[in-house]
């Protein structure tokens, strides 16, 4: 009977391919849009996640996310270091100076100033050069995408110079930093050099990076720091989610992606479900004949479920393959690097497809179960 069910499914090639295509199209759109959305949201905190040396970020109480900073006092660093449970605490500076090349090309950049003594916060994934070379005077590390933006069409080469705030900076390394939310070059320099590249102000301290003492839990230490200093302390993961939630609340990104995802889900549900239901209606005579010769309702139910699951499995596989191919191609481009197909998106999409198939199957099964076998012989 399983063979008969599959033959009935593939008998009308046009409807069969239409059903498979509808499921594949729904799968592709859902996996594509949910993965892109999640990866873009992750980019909002990419520079936070790139700092692997520290586990806690301390900031002004009104700071909501990575891009929003209000300078702290230098005495705040000493206060944080004095909190029980703090292993060490160092400075971190963030600014957006304009970097100019010798050819006159310029771009607004994200400049991160790291601790002079320990180089905590320096990029650990390097494409060329070494992060330890930041100890050299007036040295900077530029991310790979930023280098391509500043020196388009030119080979990767260390020793090139940039100008920021009428000061010359020498590129001593090219990092493989995570892609930022905005397509700006990401540069790292020592704290003392970074504040000079941007221009001296009364206060320059953007964040304090903290690592707990051995045996101290980061989540517990954040509460202790806030209680003793009045500043805001967040673990790296908490600060990442702060950035994500800020963009979710204050931008149109979730609405735009949500509309596309909703359209994909509606199209998949309506088209695939209706196509499968119409397929069942077209085969009512065959199902009636099977009931007339003694095939049980349970067996007919199994046949319909087999047909639905077979079409769903093929459509889901094709859609996932198309999505994987899409991300494999776009992942090689500089602007879309790091945007990958997430297994969570595949799992959620698979669940959604199963729900669609289940609804269509229930409607089809009900139609077959109430079918009177004798009705197929009346015409």
How confident is the model over 37-46, as pLDDT tens digits? 889 888 888 8
* 63 inside domain: no
* 238 inside domain: no
8 and 110 share one domain: no
Q: Are strands 110-114 and 86-95 parallel, antiparallel or unpaired?
A: antiparallel
* 212 inside domain: yes
The predicted pLDDT at position 377 comes to 58
In this prediction, residue 58 has a pLDDT band, given cuts at 50, 70 and 90, of very high
* 67 inside domain: no
Our CA dihedral for 202, 134, 239, 148, rounded to 10 degrees, sits at 110
* 240 inside domain: no
194 and 325 share one domain: no
The predicted pLDDT at position 4 comes to 60
How confident is the model over 264-302, as pLDDT tens digits? 777 767 777 777 777 777 776 776 677 666 767 777 777
The predicted pLDDT at position 370 comes to 63
The predicted pLDDT at position 74 comes to 85
Look up the domain containing 132 and give its range.
Answer: 73-230
256 and 207 share one domain: no
Domains of the chain: total: 2
Q: Are strands 126-129 and 167-175 parallel, antiparallel or unpaired?
A: antiparallel
104 and 179 share one domain: yes
**Unique residue bearing structure tokens 């892109």:** 36
* 195 inside domain: yes
Closest C-alpha to 91, from 214, 203, 201, 177: 203
77 and 217 share one domain: yes
Domain stop point among 170, 199, 230? 230
Q: Which of 25-29, 112-116, 141-145, 301-305 is predicted least confidently?
A: 301-305
262 and 357 share one domain: yes
13 and 129 share one domain: no
How confident is the prediction for the chain on average, in pLDDT?
85
Q: Average of pLDDT values for 242-269? A: 83
The predicted pLDDT at position 1 comes to 61
The predicted pLDDT at position 57 comes to 94
Helices marked H in 215-342 — which ranges?
A: 218-229, 236-250, 253-267, 273-282, 284-292, 297-330
The yes-or-no verdict on residue 179 having pLDDT over 60 is yes
Closest C-alpha to 209, from 325, 88, 309, 361: 88
112 or 309: which leads in pLDDT: 112
The predicted pLDDT at position 33 comes to 87
The predicted pLDDT at position 272 comes to 72
For the chain, give the number of residues: 379
* 316 inside domain: yes
Q: Does residue 319 contact residue 28 with C-beta atoms inside 8 Å?
A: yes
Q: Which of 54-63, 228-237, 251-260 is predicted least confidently?
A: 251-260
81 and 219 share one domain: yes
219 and 123 share one domain: yes
The predicted pLDDT at position 84 comes to 93
89 and 224 share one domain: yes
* 262 inside domain: yes
In this prediction, residue 355 has a pLDDT band, given cuts at 50, 70 and 90, of confident
225 and 257 share one domain: no
Q: Average of pLDDT values for 129-158? A: 92
Q: Does residue 225 contact residue 59 with C-beta atoms inside 8 Å?
A: no
99 and 213 share one domain: yes
């Amino acid at each position: 009977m399983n063979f008969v069910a599959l033959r009935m499914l593939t008998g009308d090639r046009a409807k069969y391919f239409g059903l498979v295509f509808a499921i594949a199209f729904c799968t592709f759109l859902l996996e594509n849009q949910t993965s892109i959305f999640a990866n873009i949201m992750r980019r909002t905190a990419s520079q936070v996640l790139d700092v692997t040396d520290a586990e806690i970020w301390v900031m002004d109480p009104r700071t909501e996310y990575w891009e929003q900073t209000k300078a702290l006092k230098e005495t705040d660093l000493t206060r944080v270091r004095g909190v029980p449970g703090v292993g060490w605490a160092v400075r971190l500076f963030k600014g957006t100076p304009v970097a100019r090349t010798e050819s006159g090309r310029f771009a607004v950049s994200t400049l991160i100033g790291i601790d002079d003594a320990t180089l905590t916060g320096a990029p650990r994934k390097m494409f060329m050069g070494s992060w330890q070379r930041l100890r050299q005077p007036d040295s900077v590390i530029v991310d790979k995408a930023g280098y391509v933006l500043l020196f388009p069409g030119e080979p990767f080469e260390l020793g090139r110079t940039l100008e920021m705030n009428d000061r010359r900076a020498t590129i001593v390394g090219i990092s493989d930093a995570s892609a930022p939310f905005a397509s700006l070059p990401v540069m790292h320099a020592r704290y003392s050099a970074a504040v000079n590249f941007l221009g001296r102000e009364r206060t320059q301290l953007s964040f304090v990076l903290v690592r707990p003492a051995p045996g101290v839990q980061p989540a517990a230490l954040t509460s202790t720091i806030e209680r003793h200093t009045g500043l805001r302390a967040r673990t790296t993961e908490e600060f990442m989610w702060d950035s994500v939630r800020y963009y979710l609340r204050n931008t149109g990104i979730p609405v735009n992606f949500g509309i596309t995802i909703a359209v994909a889900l509606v199209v998949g549900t309506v088209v695939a479900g209706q196509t499968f239901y119409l397929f069942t209606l077209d085969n009512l005579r065959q199902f009636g004949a099977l009931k007339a010769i003694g095939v049980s309702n349970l067996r007919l139910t199994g046949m319909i479920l087999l047909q639905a699951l077979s079409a769903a499995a093929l459509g889901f596989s094709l859609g996932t393959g198309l999505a994987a191919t899409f991300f494999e191609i776009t992942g090689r481009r500089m602007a879309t690097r790091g945007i990958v197909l997430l297994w969570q998106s595949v799992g959620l999409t698979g669940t959604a497809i199963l729900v669609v198939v289940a609804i269509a199957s229930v409607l089809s099964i009900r139609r077959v179960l109430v079918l009177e076998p004798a009705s197929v012989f009346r015409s």
